[in-house]
């Protein structure tokens, strides 16, 4: 069951990579938040209840609900529906994401003999999630999709932390959560400001900005 949830977490990236609807991206964040919460609750294995409660709050409340709801409000306010003209067609984006996900299994197999302290399936899925998140940012034009790509990468980093050690220090998790809040809040303000000035919220709009 744990392996199935980890694989499902990685497959959400393939699903996101091949669609143009912004709401689907946010739903992907919601699904990843739920899956990370289930992994923390069922497979974290900590004896420190404070860590478990905090990580459960971070994954279920913040990642699965607070941030997606905040992003949905930005999408509706700025009337952003689709990523219309990505740099790479969606079919090829999904194909590349599938190849990266498959290579993640190779990375998991490689880690078995090279890094005995690393949990292989977590490691491979986390690496593929981070790389696909970077691909997502590079191949999309709208600023909001870059924000979502940043969130996807952060989820991959969180999964990578679980692969290295079950006992994630409380202060590290707190630092990640604070960075997350600040980044999303600032990006939200930035997107709203861009929309107030320009009709479009593509990253190409930034080339028109001057001091």
pLDDT digits (tens, 9 = 90+) for 102-131: 999 998 888 887 777 788 899 999 999 999
**Degrees, nearest 5: CA angle 153-26-123:** 30
Contact 164, 118 (CB under 8 A): yes
What CA–CA distances, in Å, run from 130 to 42, 75, 105, 114, 126? 23, 24, 14, 21, 6
Kindly tell me the sign of the dihedral angle through the C-alpha atoms of 177, 182, 183, 189. Answer: positive
Total domains in the fold of the chain: 1
- Nearest-5° Cα angle at 114, 108 to 119: 45
Q: Does residue 32 fall inside a structural domain?
A: yes
Query: Does residue 211 fall inside a structural domain?
Result: no
Least confident among 49-53, 87-91, 179-183, 198-202: 198-202
Q: How far is CA 33 from the centre of its chain?
A: 9
Whether 10 is in a domain gets the answer yes
Is residue 210 assigned to a domain?
Answer: no
pLDDT class of 173 with cuts at 50, 70, 90: low
Please tell me the predicted confidence (pLDDT) of residue 46.
60
Residue 211 scores a pLDDT above 50:
no
Range of the domain at 122: 2-205
Residue 6 lies in a domain: yes
């Amino acid at each position: 069951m744990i392996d199935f949830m980890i694989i499902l977490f990685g497959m959400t990236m393939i699903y996101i990579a091949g669609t143009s609807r912004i709401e689907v991206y946010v739903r992907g964040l919601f699904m990843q938040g739920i899956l990370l919460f289930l992994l923390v609750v069922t497979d974290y294995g900590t004896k420190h209840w404070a860590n478990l409660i905090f990580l459960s709050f971070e994954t279920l409340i913040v990642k699965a609900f607070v941030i997606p709801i905040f992003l949905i409000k930005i999408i509706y306010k700025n009337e952003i529906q689709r990523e219309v003209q990505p740099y790479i067609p969606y079919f090829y984006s999904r194909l590349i994401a599938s190849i990266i996900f498959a290579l993640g299994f190779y990375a998991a197999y490689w880690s078995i003999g090279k890094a005995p302290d690393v949990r292989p399936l977590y490691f491979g899925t986390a690496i593929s999630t981070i790389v696909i998140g970077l691909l997502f940012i590079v191949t999309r034009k709208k600023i909001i999709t870059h924000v979502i790509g940043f969130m996807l990468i952060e989820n991959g980093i969180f999964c990578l932390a679980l692969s290295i050690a079950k006992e994630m220090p409380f202060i590290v998790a707190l630092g990640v959560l604070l960075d997350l809040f600040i980044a999303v809040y600032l990006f939200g303000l930035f997107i709203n400001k861009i929309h107030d000035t320009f009709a479009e919220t593509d990253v190409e709009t930034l080339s028109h900005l001057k001091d």
